[in-house]
Structures are given as structure tokens and as C-alpha cells.
Structure 1
């Protein structure tokens, strides 16, 4: 009987740990939305399939406020990426090729 209780407890802990490890914070979701906006703006050529899949999967668990904020971040980054300023474009390309790599798959 004790063995069964230990096995059930261990199974529950592993299931909880797996769920917690897979969870992405709202801040990371917003960063991924920004990265997707930069990618769409044409700052650099990027395959966005992995980002699209990530955002689609993560948006299901977000509140309406966070999902709307993600859309706003996407739009803002897309506008920002359409700049003619060479210095700003270089900074955005570095962002897309640096921190945004985490969301590319």
C-alpha cells in the first residue's frame, strides 16, 4: 500500500514539473510577439514558421489582455522595422538575430 502511495505521489510530481517547465511567462510571450513583428517587417530574412507555431500554441493559455498586448507589440515592432534609419535597422537586425533566436525553433 505504501508503494502505491509513493508511486502515485511521484507521478503527480512529475506531471506538475512537466507542466511548470513547459509554461512560458507573459513577458516571454510578448517578446516572441515583438520578434515576430520584426521578422515580418523585413529587417532580415527569417523563417517564421517556428515563431508562428510557438505563438499560436502559447496564445491559447493567455488572458485577453495579454493576447491584445501581444498584438500591440507585434504591430509596434512591424512599424519600427520599416525605418530608413541605418543605425536603428542595424539594432533591430541584431535583436532579431540575437535574443529572438530562442523563438525560431
Structure 2
């Protein structure tokens, strides 16, 4: 009886841990926003993208192909926009505003949603 109670308690803890991990997954929209932020950071230059790289790598797992392709498209579009001098101020503001949560890395970005 004691072994059965321990097994049930362990299964309950495993289920709780599994749901906590699932809760840390960002939405597809957040993944796309982070991809755009990466493109802006690369286009503007002189910005450390390690946090963004980690977030995107972590969140890439299990995504549908069309979301990953759209993320690449958003990053490329943002890099092109960053080449335009008249858009640089707006993109720099976006980078220092909305993108900060994604630059912090995985857990902080998901919590910031």
C-alpha cells in the first residue's frame, strides 16, 4: 500500500512538473515578435543577440514549419528595414522597448507576456 501511495504521489508531481514546463512555452506570436527583434538587432548592429538567440532556439522546438518560415521572413524583413536610415530611429525604439523582454532570455520573456 505504501508503494502504491508513493507511486501515485510521484505521478502527481511529474504531472505538475510537466504542466509547468508546458506553461513556459511562448505563443507563436511571441516567437514571431522575437524573430523580428533578432532581425532588427542584426540590422542595427552593435547589439548583443545572445539572449534572443537562446530564446529562439529554445522556443523553436515543436513549432510548426509555417511558423518557423514566417519567423525567418520577419527577421529578413526587419533586417531590410534597418538598412533604411529614416526607419532606424523607430526600429531602435522598438529594440529598446518591446524587444527587451525577448533579449532577456527564455523564462523572463515568457513571463513578460
- 2:72 aligned with 1:77, yes or no? no
Name whichever of 6-15 and 24-33 sits farther off.
6-15
Separation (CA, whole Å) in 2 of partners of 1:23 and 1:58: 7
How many residues are matched? Answer: 102
Deviation at 1:5, TM superposition (A): 6.2
Matched with 1:62 is 63
Deviation at 1:21, TM superposition (A): 2.2
Matched with 2:109 is none
Instruction: Identify the match of residue 15 of structure 1 among 14, 17, 23.
Output: 17
Gaps of 5+ in 1: none
TM-score (norm 2): 0.79
Gaps of 5+ in 2: 105-113
Separation (CA, whole Å) in 2 of partners of 1:9 and 1:48: 39
SS in 2 for 1:99: coil
Runs of 4+ in 1 over 6 A off after TM superposition: none
Separation (CA, whole Å) in 2 of partners of 1:12 and 1:52: 29
Deviation at 1:39, TM superposition (A): 0.2
Deviation at 1:16, TM superposition (A): 2.7
The CA RMSD over aligned residues, in Å, is 1.8
Deviation at 1:51, TM superposition (A): 0.8
Deviation at 1:7, TM superposition (A): 1.4
Structural mapping, 1:1-105, within 5 Å: 1=1, 3-4=5-6, 7-42=9-44, 45-85=46-86, 88-105=87-104
